[in-house]
């Protein structure tokens, strides 16, 4: 079995690569990644020399390069993690989000058609459903919830999902789609809430909470997401969407306070800043379908996962200190300098 993993040098893609190398050592894995600011080849060091792993540098939106790769490698299965993934960056400059997330997906789908790939799996997000109100805790996103996007990022992800469905219906391409809630864990780029707060707290820098910090996200430990995707590849039904989430809703402010407490830092570091434009209030996944159909359940509690994550950032300061010293500095200045 030859598996092409796109975006494997990013947060979830690298965790998925490690997960599959251990769980399915008989598979051959190929990672295609453009190594944008969010991709880090150093992350893949543990698997780089292994005989069943190959890294290929390239852009999923580069049709010639992608078709050459498929011609040479003939993958059986494609899992597409490659994306521009940060909502704030999409608000600043949507163009690259459409290019990678929509056009890149189309190129991959075309290549899968041309080379008769056995399964194309699209890694999507709960953000395609828009948001839920804070005063209706009884409401959840199901696979039937209409798409209703808020940011250029989520609009690009929803567009890609629609393209996948269209290729399935029109060309009979064997696709599956998963829509997961917020992930956390090792190797997450420090622009995202949890690693950003850990890195800033360790440096005694202000902790920039958007608005009043009351927005709710539904957090899932990254390894549980990887296990769900593996299960969908193995047993999932072609043409099906699977929501992935662990019923773990938290307010942003409570997460930031928990990080302060764990790192023994004062809450006075918390700084309330101008809210994100179009900020989604609440995400909450109903995961009952994937549980019923495939037997998936998350294994890591938030209490355990957040402690493991904070420990990982403490033990791997080199990994993220290199990142925060580069392009990230000018991004941080643009995003938070005058907020």
Q: Which residues are catalytic?
A: 126-127, 153
Q: How far is the CB of 338 from ligand NAD (least distance, A)?
A: 25
Residue nearest to ligand NAD (CB): 10
Cβ atoms within 10 Å of 307's Cβ, excluding its own: 13
CB 203 within 8 A of CB 227: no
Residue number with CB closer to ligand NAD (124 or 168)? 124
Task: Report which of 143, 1, 11 is spatially closest to residue 74, judged by C-alpha positions.
Answer: 1
Among ligand NAD, ligand DAU, none, what does residue 78 contact (CB within 5–8 Å per kind)?
none
Among ligand NAD, ligand DAU, none, what does residue 168 contact (CB within 5–8 Å per kind)?
none
Under the rule (CB under 6 A), what is the footprint of ligand NAD? 6-7, 9-13, 33-36, 38-39, 59-61, 81-85, 100, 104, 123, 125, 157, 180, 182-183, 189
Q: How far is the CB of 302 from ligand NAD (least distance, A)?
A: 14
Under the rule (CB under 6 A), what is the footprint of ligand DAU? 85-87, 125-127, 181-182, 192-193, 196, 208-210, 215, 217, 252, 276, 283
Q: How far is the CB of 212 from ligand NAD (least distance, A)?
A: 22
Q: How far is the CB of 267 from ligand NAD (least distance, A)?
A: 25
Residue number with CB closer to ligand DAU (210 or 312)? 210
Q: Which residues contact 47 (CB under 8 A, 6 or more apart)?
A: 17, 18, 21, 29, 53
Q: Which residues contact 251 (CB under 8 A, 6 or more apart)?
A: 213, 214, 215, 216
């Amino acid at each position: 079995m030859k598996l092409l993993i796109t975006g494997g040098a990013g947060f979830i893609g690298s965790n998925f690569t490690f997960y599959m190398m251990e769980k399915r050592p008989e598979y051959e894995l190929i990672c295609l990644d453009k190594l944008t600011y969010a991709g880090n080849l150093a992350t893949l060091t543990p698997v780089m020399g292994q005989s069943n792993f190959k890294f290929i540098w390239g852009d999923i939106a580069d049709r010639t390069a992608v078709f050459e790769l498929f011609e040479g490698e003939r993958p059986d299965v494609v899992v597409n993690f490659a994306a521009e993934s940060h909502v704030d960056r999409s608000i600043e400059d949507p163009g690259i989000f459409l290019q990678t997330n929509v056009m890149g997906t189309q190129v991959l789908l075309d290549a899968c058609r041309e080379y008769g790939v056995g399964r194309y799996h699209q890694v999507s997000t709960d953000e395609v459903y828009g948001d839920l109100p804070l005063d209706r805790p009884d409401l959840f996103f199901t696979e039937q919830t209409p798409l209703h996007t808020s940011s250029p990022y989520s609009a690009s992800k929803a567009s890609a999902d629609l393209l996948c469905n269209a290729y399935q219906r029109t060309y009979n391409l064997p696709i599956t789609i998963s829509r997961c809630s917020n992930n956390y864990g090792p190797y997450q780029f420090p622009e995202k809430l949890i690693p950003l707060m850990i890195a800033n707290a360790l440096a005694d820098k202000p902790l920039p909470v958007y608005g009043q910090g009351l927005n709710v996200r539904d957090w899932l430990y990254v390894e549980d997401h990887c296990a769900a995707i593996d299960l969908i590849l193995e047993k999932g039904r072609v043409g099906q969407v699977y929501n992935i989430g662990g019923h773990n809703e938290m307010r942003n402010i409570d997460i930031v306070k928990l990080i302060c407490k764990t790192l023994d830092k004062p809450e006075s570091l918390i700084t309330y800043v101008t809210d994100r434009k179009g900020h989604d209030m609440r995400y909450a996944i109903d995961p009952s379908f994937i549980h019923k159909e495939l037997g998936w359940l998350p294994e890591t509690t938030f209490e355990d996962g957040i402690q493991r994550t904070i420990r990982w950032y403490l033990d791997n300061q080199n990994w993220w200190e290199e990142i925060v010293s580069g392009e990230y500095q000018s991004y941080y200045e643009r995003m938070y300098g005058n907020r």
